[in-house]
Chains A and B, each alone.
Chain A
């Protein structure tokens, strides 16, 4: 039997809209992604990158074809199965989506408490440790309103990684950031992912990030048009 991949998509189609307005966004996608790799999804706007990410991330119902995530078929999975799968994933959004009423540390803590809260002291220590790793040890008690864009996105990275997810999905995590802080964020994602054997799938337009990838997949009009390894593998 072939080695199993954390993400296996086959014959995946996706449609938006009903009746006359029904429009196909993804066409017969077949994709296996290796454990511990950093895969980058590229392509022009509207090519279906986000749709692919939300389908693989259990955020959108699989209509046709198959997605197996961590061994579990998503097509036809019930809400409880999806919820428990999501707890094994980390998400980083274009907007940081931090909770404005929670401090940096509390936002990170939310990534842990989804697994229960039997040991609050240990959880706080873990949250502080990850904040430390993203260089925000001295910003723990800050509310998002008092952090810069790059700092907020680093808190979001910390929140996504704190529970040691099997897979991290990131959709243009650097889009709202200036070049330098964008680079820092991706660098962190990459290093933390490597040390933890996390599989990362990231949508980005940022060319300077491409060289960090293990694999680059380009979509156009809902179809894979190129699937390659970057020239300089780090």
Chain B
């Protein structure tokens, strides 16, 4: 280790030697950084799951443009929009096709007596081009009254039910006074949005939600003509439709708007953001504490080095070297434990908590930055190393 660092720095790795000499301090510092890294990873993991839950339903759709009511917050937390807007939109040049989308939460009582809510999507099943190929294939079976496709990750649903469905079986259940028959499964992964999800025909949807009418869907999905720019059509639609109460967004912009809403307007997003901030703060304080104590403990040695003719850059180098050592050694266990905890969380909650490389790199760079900032603050104590006090 020492030899490698000597080679890297082109000088003795004083920072590393100093840190590794005091094993207790090194262990405390590294565990502190690991813990802070872990905190940040957990917050980001859950936040990431929240985000992927938020946009997961978009994976069901295959649309270029979404028209919604201004009152809605997100795709699945939407207001109602007059179906008349769909016919207006079809008259706009560049619009190839349009379909209504109905969304509602269907309460469902499990065998064990607990009630879960199933996020239900009602499609016009004569237009499979508006959904992803994975469920478009099942649309034929949805034309039969009261049939649905059930999300595989539905909470509280016995594995035997899902297995039977996947093997081509059926599953009958009562919801909202209506008997529904699941005839297939889909895999959306929206753990934070609902306990489970259903896809069904608009007819089945309206029967399940007697209060809703076919004239007021939640969204209108549009596809544009080949070779026409989506943004251009969005602009045309905004001009053509009454501006009051109507929101026209390209599908990806709509997903982004949902993410922004969830991370800035919903308490969960704010809480996790705060958690990340706290993790970073804990890391900063621990590293600062360790490095400044270390500087204070070595003032005599530093003063000696000053007397020998070492300048300020040398001392800054030592402190930053220590900061980097702490960042690297703290990050690695933090990452490993986080990967384990992610797997645990996934198994227990069914939430899509995944470690991806970009998050790992981001957190590593963050750890490095935080340690360097702490190191920079700790170097202020170096001024106290006065070689005149040595004799």
Contacts and interface: CB of A to CB of B under 8 A. Distances in A.
A139 to B, nearest CB: 18
Interface stretch (A28-36, A50-58, A189-197, A205-213): A50-58
Nearest to A159: B308
A186 interface: no
15 contacts: A54-B387, A54-B388, A54-B391, A57-B307, A59-B307, A80-B311, A85-B309, A86-B306, A86-B307, A88-B309, A94-B391, A101-B17, A101-B21, A106-B17, A114-B310
Interface centre among A93, A99, A114 (most CB of B within 10 A): A99
Interface in B353-391: 387-388, 390-391
B308 A114 contact: yes
Contacts of B158: none
Which of the four size classes fits the interface of chain B? 20 to 34
B14 interface: yes
Q: Which 3 A-B pairs rank lowest in CB-CB distance, beginning with the nearest?
A: A87-B309, A101-B21, A86-B309
B12 A114 contact: no
Interface string B9-46: 01110100110111000000000000000000000000
Contacts of B192: none
Main secondary structure of the interface of B (DSSP, over half): helix
Interface size bracket, A side? 20 to 34
Interface of B: 6, 10-12, 14, 17-18, 20-22, 298, 300-301, 303-311, 387-388, 390-391
A97 interface: yes
Interface of A: 50, 53-54, 57, 59-60, 80, 83-89, 91, 93-95, 97, 99-102, 106, 109-111, 113-114, 117, 120, 143, 159, 171
Given A110-B308, A114-B309, A93 B14 contact: no
B308 to A, nearest CB: 5
Given A86-B309, A111-B308, A101 B14 contact: yes
Which of A54, A87, A101, A171 gathers the greatest number of chain B CB atoms within 10 Å?
A101
Contacts of A93: 304, 390-391
Nearest to B20: A101
B12 A109 contact: yes
B387 A106 contact: no
A25 to B, nearest CB: 12
A155 to B, nearest CB: 12
